[in-house]
Amino acid sequence: MIKSAVIAVGGNALIRAGEKGSILEQIANARRISKAIVTLIQSGLHLAVTHGNGPQVGAQLLRSERAAGQVYEQSLDVCVAATQGEIGYILQQALQLELQLAGLSMPVTTILTQVVVRDDDPAFRNPTKPIGPFYSRPAAEERIRQYGWDMIEDSSRGYRRVVPSPDPIDIVEAEVIRRVIDQGILVVAAGGGGIPVVREGGLLRGVDAVIDKDRASMLLAIELAADLLVFSTDADHVYLHFKQPGQRALELVRLEEIRRHHQAGEFPPGSMGPKVEAAMNFLDSGGRKAIITSLDNLADAVLGGAGTQIIP
């Protein structure tokens, strides 16, 4: 029986396609997220909630760079910490409201979470993680000239800034998160993949990077010994031959089958690849089930079998 889960909310769930990303829009979207999460709590699941921060951390970094010379600049790790607080605050309020409306008495807290990476990770020499908004080609070229950004074309929707995305190896606050959940408190943690830090002589030092939130969520689920790991994204399912003739949704799929599809190149690194890889690693480490689905289908996927269900 599934008793515990980590729910990873996609980075664009708070700022949906076509929105400007205002705080009011993010609050409204947080309500949608929270309704689904409260439904899962009502079913008896013990949860930790993680979230992305791609749009928000890009905006935070841009504010810092544009205000340079007038106020102090923020490094990328500090920008990640700032967005953990910002998004955690928005989600906490929405979750508290939905819990109250459901007649549930459950405290909610956000834990600023540091995630350890290796200082010699190859990602620091090869930035790949998209952050911030999409730009046209001329606008992207201007920012390369003006700010020295690394930029790539992202999913045919325009150009985005990319930053290093090293692999997470340890979650500093994992034991704290576990103790808080054991007290019956709903936890928002590892926001945006966690604040990237490296170990130096037993101490921690922040580094300029953004950790992939799917990999960090997987690592948190393993360290918490969760039964279930759920990725909420833009798509209802994982698809074979995505946007090609013969497109087919995967529904209930075993680990070895989805591994074969992954090895055949079905899931691109800039799209579904990180989620599928994280799901496979979670199951390889003893997890009982991983689910990939849309936010709208989140509750139905966990409680009723919608979305892509991956089992050992």
Pairs from 296-299 (Cβ < 8 Å, separation ≥ 24): 296/236, 297/236, 298/7, 298/36, 298/37, 298/40, 298/230, 298/232, 299/36, 299/39, 299/40
Dist. CA 195–CA 11, nearest whole Å:
15
Question: Is residue 158 flagged as an active site residue?
Answer: no
Q: How far apart are CA 181 and CA 44, in angstroms?
A: 13
Q: Is residue 289 flagged as an active site residue?
A: no
Q: Does the annotation count 20 as an active-site position?
A: no
- For the question of residue 129 being annotated catalytic, the response is yes
Say which of 52, 132, 213, 297 is annotated catalytic.
Answer: 213
- 11 catalytic, yes or no? yes
Contacts 24+ apart (CB under 8 A), 175-181: 176/111, 177/48, 177/111, 177/113, 177/220, 177/224, 178/223, 178/224, 180/109, 180/111, 181/4, 181/46, 181/47, 181/48, 181/224
Select which of 275, 287, 289, 307 is catalytic. 275
Of the listed 10, 52, 54, 129, which one is catalytic? 129
Q: One of 12, 35, 158, 273 is an active-site residue; which one?
A: 12
Catalytic residues: 11-12, 129, 213, 275
